[in-house]
Amino acid sequence: MLLPRHVLGRLAVHPAIERIHLCVSAGASQVLRHELGADRTGAADLAAAAGLDGAPLAKLRLHRDSELDAPIASGSYRLTGTVVLPCSAGTLGALATGVARTLIHRAGAVALKEGWPLVLGFRETPYSLVHVENMRRLLLAGATIMPPVPAFYIGGEDLGRFLDHYTLRLLDRFGLPDPDPGPDPSPGPGDPAAPAAGGASGEDAPAGTLARRGLRWGEDR
């Protein structure tokens, strides 16, 4: 759960995010039990593992995956976007076929029908034809499939760089800026090592944003 903890920590301290709705699936609870201890299996334990306290912690709204009457189960509760990270093959299939037996499934289905960003950190490899078909259906429905693949081209061997890179790409999908961009390390236009326009990622950040800054977060296994 290293990546979810890192991403949650970065989102919680982002100045443009007012609240985060956090939900942990049954599968993710089993992983947390192995990583954190037998009595630490819920959303609050994930937040604690991310080192959140004070104002960042106060942004969180915690939900059980069986809590189908939670506000985030309804499209009338307007938020900036939804992310399932990591996203299991089971959740991918449920979202692709419209099955909504859990709060995470329902939150994903709401994002699709309402048209706000849905990012799925699908973690399975190699892909089967079933995986590919489910991803195809979700892409056509408007979701973003964003596997947690390390960006080996960014330089350095520090794992934190890979975690930060994924987090920044996630923020891009929601139209949120890097809260701490720092100095521009790229060479000048006259330097032969300067990258082509658009940057190494090959992806421009979305231009539009929603006025209300909230996120739905699903922690799957």
Tell me the pLDDT tens digit for each residue of 159-175. Answer: 888 899 999 999 999 99
Given pLDDT bands bounded at 50, 70 and 90, which one contains residue 20? very high
The answer, yes or no, to whether residue 211 has pLDDT greater than 60, is no
Distance CA 40, CA 84 (A): 20
Distance CA 46, CA 204 (A): 31
Mean pLDDT over all residues of the chain? 82
Distance CA 176, CA 186 (A): 21
What's the gap between Cα 9 and its chain centre?
12
Q: What is the pLDDT of residue 154?
A: 75
Measured between alpha carbons, how far is residue 167 from residues 52, 103, 213 in Å? 17, 23, 17
3-state secondary structure the chain: CHHHHHHHHHHHCCCCCCEEEEEECHHHHHHHHHHHCCCCCCHHHHHHHCCCCHHHHHCEEEEECCCCCCHHHCCCCCCCEEEEEEECHHHHHHHHHCCCCCHHHHHHHHHHHHCCCEEEEECCCCCCHHHHHHHHHHHHHCCEECCCCCCHHHCCCCHHHHHHHHHHHHHHHCCCCCCCCCCCCCCCCCCCCCCCCCCCCCCCCCCCCCCCCEEEEEECC
On whether the pTM is more than 0.95, the answer is no
Give residue-wise pLDDT tens across range 106-121. 999 999 999 999 999 9
Q: What is the pLDDT of residue 220?
A: 65
